[in-house]
Amino acid sequence: MYVSYIPQIMNNLQGNYGNPIQPLVAALNCTFWCVYAYFKMNRDWPVFWANFPGIFFGLITFITSLH
pLDDT of residue 51: 97
| H-only helix segments in the chain | 5-13, 21-39, 45-65
Read off the pLDDT of residues 11-64 as tens digits, 9 standing for 90 and up.
999 999 999 999 999 999 999 999 999 999 999 999 999 999 999 999 999 999
| Cα 31 from chain centroid (whole Å) | 8
Question: Domain locations in the chain?
Answer: 2-65
pLDDT of residue 39: 98
Task: Using alpha carbons, select from 4, 50, 6, 55 the residue that is nearest to residue 29.
Answer: 55
Q: Give the model's confidence band at 2: pLDDT under 50 very low, under 70 low, under 90 confident, else very high.
A: confident
User: According to the model, what pLDDT value does residue 23 have?
Assistant: 96
Residue 3 in this model has a pLDDT that exceeds 90: no
d(CA 14, CA 3): 18
